Structure 1
Amino acid sequence: MQSSAHPAGATPGVPRLAQHFASLEVQNHAARLGMWLFLSTEILLFAGLFVCYGCYRYLFPDAFAQASRHLDLSLGTINTVVLITSSLTAALAVHYAKEGKNKTVALMFVLTIAMACAFLVIKGFEYSHKFAEGALPGKYYHFEEVQLPGAPLYFTIYFLATGLHAFHVIVGMSVLAWLTVKAIREQNFGPNNYTAVELGSMYWHLVDLVWIFLFPLLYLI
């Protein structure tokens, strides 16, 4: 009689081989290559934003410098520490997946998701403060303390870049939540089957890496 913890035909720690792959090694290599290609497109997406930021900062250096001083550096720093720490727990999940410690994998991902929630809550406080001040994108800008030409552009880029990043945080949380459920219910991660955990962790590292670029560009001008 088969255990209810594992789907029919599945063996703990042993991945399923798809019919169109010659071996598990080839299957895992294809999965990693696919993830790297996907991450490269995400990098190109944010690279376009960074180029846009660089052009407008060159055109309006004083407005960008003054506008950046009205961001909450303390909250931005806390969010940076939170995301860097979440990268550590995501990396530890891969480590424990290789050892077949599925419950610990789930715990590491739960901690990562909790820190992601904390990041979004803090970012929500920042957004609400900017809404109250009137530091809004484009024609909605009515922030009295910075009225230099180019200031609305700074906050347009700020909301676009951080909003797009927050969307990626939510997507990453969803992926990690799925892996957490998989680790708890199926308990099939092991030394020969940890690719899914590795790929989920890779995506989360990208989310953290993008913020490491956004933080100095937006907060530390």
Structure 2
Amino acid sequence: MTDIAIAHQLPGLAEAAHEGPASKRIITGYGFWIFLLSDIVMFSCFFAAYAVLQGQTAGGPSGAELFNLRNVAIETIFLLLSSFACGMASVAVEARSHLWFQIAMAVTCVLGLGFLAIEFREFADLVARGAGPSRSAFLSAFFTLVGCHGLHVSGGELWLLTMMAQVFAKGFRADIQRRFLCFALFWHALDIIWVAIFSVVYLLGSAA
């Protein structure tokens, strides 16, 4: 290799050496995205099972007879607003604002609890009407898909309260910011999955 060629490569080599390895924030975010993708694969399997079993009512009620779109619409609004509030919490983290972080996370928590309360009431009502998960293959698939999402939201609520306590006690340390990044990704992913459930399960089910 000639001296001229080496001279042309030196700036690029120096820049690469200056960049160094990826930051912990990037590595953590990348690793958590892999976890989220595995979770999305699981939900995809539940969606596929529901699509196959949707018509298998065993002579029982169908989605058009059971679903209350008004309550489901309220659920959806709650979850969408909670995702917006979570985004505001992310802005507060960047601004290092403890007050607005706690307010935004509290709003996210309340909206998430409202979503869970409506979903629990829906499940209790279905069981009381004899439309529990053992009634038909359709209802088994429905309770599995929607219930699994509800369990994820419940876990997210516990994670949210933990993040509020950690920021209150320790501030915006680098490791806590990385944990909040993972939480925000998780919460927004649940929002996206719910939009799919709302569209595929409730809207199409009611139309059918």
Could you state the TM-score of these two structures normalised by the residue count of structure 2?
0.81
1:94 CA displacement: 0.6
Indicate the residue corresponding to 1:148 in structure 2: none
Indicate the residue corresponding to 1:32 in structure 2: 29
Deviations 1:115-165 (A, max 9, x none): 111111111111111011101123xx2xxxxxxxxxx12211111111111
Matched positions, count: 186
Unaligned runs of 5+ in 1: 1-21, 142-151
Shift in alpha-carbon separation, 1:129–1:183, aligned structure 2, 3 A: same
Query: Do residues 164 (structure 1) and 148 (structure 2) align?
Result: yes
- What residue identity is the alignment partner of 2:37? S
Query: Do residues 208 (structure 1) and 176 (structure 2) align?
Result: no
Aligned-partner SS, 2:125: helix
Query: Following the alignment from structure 2 to structure 1, what is the Cα–Cα distance between the partners of residues 176 and 149?
Result: 30
1:101 CA displacement: 0.4
Query: Do residues 42 (structure 1) and 42 (structure 2) align?
Result: no
In our comparison, the structure showing a higher alpha carbon Rg is 2
Task: Give 1:23-172 correspondences, 5 Å limit.
Answer: 26-57=23-54, 60=56, 66-138=62-134, 141=135, 152-172=136-156
Aligned-partner SS, 2:122: helix
1:98 CA displacement: 0.4
2:162 is matched with which residue: 162, 178, 192? 178
Shift in alpha-carbon separation, 1:24–1:95, aligned structure 2, 3 A: farther
The answer (yes or no) to whether the contact 2:61–2:131 under 8 Å persists in 1 is: no
Deviations 1:17-55 (A, max 9, x none): xxxxx9895211110011100100110010001111222
Query: Following the alignment from structure 2 to structure 1, what is the Cα–Cα distance between the partners of residues 22 and 43?
Result: 32
The answer (yes or no) to whether the contact 1:116–1:169 under 8 Å persists in 2 is: yes
Query: Following the alignment from structure 2 to structure 1, what is the Cα–Cα distance between the partners of residues 20 and 154?
Result: 34
Quote the sequence identity (%).
21
Indicate the residue corresponding to 1:12 in structure 2: none
Shift in alpha-carbon separation, 1:197–1:64, aligned structure 2, 3 A: farther
- What residue identity is the alignment partner of 1:28? R
- What residue identity is the alignment partner of 1:26? S
The answer (yes or no) to whether the contact 1:172–1:204 under 8 Å persists in 2 is: yes
Unaligned runs of 5+ in 2: 1-18
Shift in alpha-carbon separation, 1:64–1:189, aligned structure 2, 3 A: farther
- What residue identity is the alignment partner of 1:88? F
Aligned-partner SS, 1:69: helix
Indicate the residue corresponding to 1:218 in structure 2: 201
Query: Following the alignment from structure 2 to structure 1, what is the Cα–Cα distance between the partners of residues 61 and 177?
Result: 45
- What residue identity is the alignment partner of 1:132? A
Shift in alpha-carbon separation, 1:68–1:24, aligned structure 2, 3 A: farther
- What residue identity is the alignment partner of 1:165? H
Query: Following the alignment from structure 1 to structure 2, what is the Cα–Cα distance between the partners of residues 68 and 49?
Result: 20
The structure richer in helix per residue is: 2
Query: Following the alignment from structure 1 to structure 2, what is the Cα–Cα distance between the partners of residues 23 and 155?
Result: 53
Query: Following the alignment from structure 1 to structure 2, what is the Cα–Cα distance between the partners of residues 117 and 200?
Result: 16
Could you state the TM-score of these two structures normalised by the residue count of structure 1?
0.76
Query: Following the alignment from structure 2 to structure 1, what is the Cα–Cα distance between the partners of residues 21 and 109?
Result: 30
> Quick one: higher RCO (CA 8 Å, sep 6+), 1 or 2?
1
